[in-house]
Amino acid sequence: MVRNRKKPTVVPPRAIIDIGSNTVRLVIYGGPLRAPAVLHNEKVTARLGKAVAETGMLSEKARGAALASLRRYRALLQLKGVEHVEVVATAATRDAANGREFLESVRALGFEPRLLTGEQEAVTSAHGVIGAFPAARGVVGDLGGGSLELVDIEQGQCRHGISMPLGTLRLPALRAEGETAFARKVGKALAKAEWQVEPGTTLYLVGGSLRAFARYAMVKLRWPIDDPHGFAIDAGEALKLARSLARMRVDALVPIPNISSSRLAGLPDAAALIAVLVQTLQPARLVFSAWGLREGLMWEAMAEHVRQQDPLVAGVADFVRDEGVSPGTATMIAGWTASASLAQGAERRERLRLSATMLCLASALVEPNLRQDLARDWALRKRWIGASASDRAMLAAAIIANTGKSELSPDLLRIADEQQLREAVTWGLAARLCRRFSGCTAPGLSGSALRVEGEGLVLEVAHDLQVLVNEGTERDLKALATHMGLRPEIRTTPPGSVASAV
């Protein structure tokens, strides 16, 4: 196995501080620009927007909590040597009569805060969704503590962004007169904003309270994936769950893994808003995004050539480097195994096959008794930007097949069809054959070739590499050929017929 722990040019860490209506959060990002990794993430629940909703002013208590957190963040950033820092403030500061005064206090701490308008907040959140889902088309809804932003997106562009005073801190009061009155108020806000959308589109939902609803739905549906990012649900199913949850008392809610008590308490309110949005906007499905405002800020700062990169490939490549695998070697192996990817439309899945190959090589470096667990932990539990549920299932199937097992898990069959999974098994079996035969060495790869010829799957080996062929190679080739419905053949070629290993 070729190991390479040297990383490419290091991108300096960058930090974003989001002064929201409910929380003041610091996130420090590292890793590749196209698939940034979270190095530090903390928040303080200052609830700046609570008093704003009641009095129109930021309270002294909330301001004090926010400024205390910002002083801590300033010290942490200095200790960590993070120089690139962006600070933005949203609805609560924007709407408060003393918001400008508060921003002056923030500047006195050494920050340069930027106050976003409602439209800027909506568009920036939408850019986060576009960064996570490059082919996204539909409506982005971002629910914060003080406001709900909606914006149309299509082909990487944003249109018609609006911000409405429907944040989580305002929802209890808005629901106090009952669900009918609540639906009427939301509908009135949409009408005032002159908001119209074509029925049957996709509604992309951003925000901690909405992701908490996604986790609730995933538990209810016994979904085999833990991460709510990218979770998609039919609008009818979402409406049914949202209506049921909206009627529940907070003290009747059962704790849900990875949902805090405060998020749990706000779930009925968030569900009620989801129900109204589904009824009003009539989307075909809902997709939940972990990328929103903060990631949108990074997206807006990206060069165009960085935006064009595939986020899944970028993220997996960075991950496997830390596991001791060279992405360059994985690319060569993906080329060597290309003949084993003959499914219809396979060329459209090359970025997924490359990602699967990288993960297969990384999993092979782990203790054998842990490798099958990695299929779940890496493919189904780790956050991959740019991977759908079926993509995750295919990654898992490939990693499992890389251990020599081709059986399809019932859990995976729930989120991908059998044909997709069988294709992914082919990727895993081919990666297994290649790495075990060649040792993932450049001479081993250039001195051999895998080809489909008629009804046969032929492994051509240069004469001077014949010694690499053993019983294991024969078994691996047979397993792959049998899975593909082909006849295995090993062919030794004269010197010069296949690129020589020397």
pLDDT in tens, the chain (502 residues): 444 444 444 579 999 999 999 999 999 999 899 999 999 999 999 999 999 988 999 999 999 999 999 999 999 999 999 999 999 999 999 999 999 999 999 999 999 999 999 999 999 999 999 999 999 999 999 999 999 999 999 988 998 888 999 999 999 999 999 999 999 999 888 888 777 788 999 999 999 999 999 999 999 999 999 899 999 999 999 999 999 999 998 888 888 888 888 889 999 999 999 999 999 999 999 999 999 999 999 999 999 999 999 999 999 999 999 999 999 999 999 999 998 877 777 777 999 999 999 999 999 998 888 887 887 889 999 999 999 999 999 999 999 999 999 899 999 999 999 999 999 999 999 999 999 999 999 999 999 999 999 999 999 999 999 999 999 999 999 999 999 999 999 999 876 665 433 3
Q: Which residues fall within 8 angstroms of residue 382, CB to CB, at 6 or more apart?
A: 227, 319
Where, residue-wise, is CATH 3.30.420.40 in the chain? 14-115
d(CA 329, CA 337): 12
Q: Give the separation between CA 337 and CA 357, rounded to whole angstroms.
A: 9
Q: Which CATH class is domain 311-493?
A: mainly alpha
Residue count (the chain): 502
Give the DSSP letter of residue 10.
P
Domain limits, CATH 3.30.420.150, in the chain: 119-295
Distance CA(164)–CA(147), nearest Å, equals 5
Write out the CATH class of domain 14-115: alpha beta
- Fold classified for 119-295: Nucleotidyltransferase; domain 5 (3.30.420)
State whether the Cα torsion 305-86-214-400 is positive or negative: positive
Neighbours of 60 (CB within 10 A): 10
- In the chain, where does the domain assigned CATH 1.10.3210.10 lie? 311-493
SS (H, E, C) 395-430: HHHHHHHCCCCCCCCHHHHHHCCHHHHHHHHHHHHH
The whole-angstrom separation of Cα 277 and Cα 286 is 11
